[in-house]
Amino acid sequence: MQCIRCDRPRRKSGGGPFCSVHMVQDWVYRTPQGDEIVDEFAIERAMAGRRVEITTTERTEAVRRLTEQGHSAREIGLRLRISERHVLRYRSRIRWLAEAS
């Protein structure tokens, strides 16, 4: 199968609908501050409830997305394997970052 952006073949493992060139561009990126690399695949796996090592920035992004989907703090905590209290802390951090920008 081909990449949805070009004619190159898709990556066999972990590339989704992209080739190796576009997978790196679309799924792995730096934060706006440029200080940390974010892995979209890790975020998606964590949101699905699978065991995966993710950074604080990636966990914050997963909490933000699951909150937008309407999940409760308890459900998010179970999926990400963190306490409900930590989910609430991440939510307050998300609100603070939104207000600061």
* Domain coverage including residue 20: 1-27
Q: Please report, in tens digits, the pLDDT of each residue of the chain (101 residues total).
A: 776 666 777 766 655 666 666 665 545 555 555 566 677 888 888 898 888 888 888 899 899 999 999 999 999 999 999 999 999 999 999 999 888 87
Helix 56-68 and helix 40-47, axial crossing angle in degrees, nearest 10? 50
pTM, rounded to two decimals: 0.68
Sign of CA dihedral 72, 47, 65, 58: positive
23 burial (CB, 10 Å; 0-12 / 13-18 / 19+) is buried
Q: Are residues 15 and 59 in the same domain?
A: no
Residues 19 and 35 in one domain: no
Residues 44 and 81 grouped into a single domain: yes
Regarding whether 36 and 4 lie in a shared domain, the answer is no
In terms of domains, do 59 and 43 share one?
Answer: yes
Both 59 and 88 in one domain: the answer is yes
Say if residue 44 is in the same domain as residue 85.
yes
Pair (47, 95) in one structural domain: yes
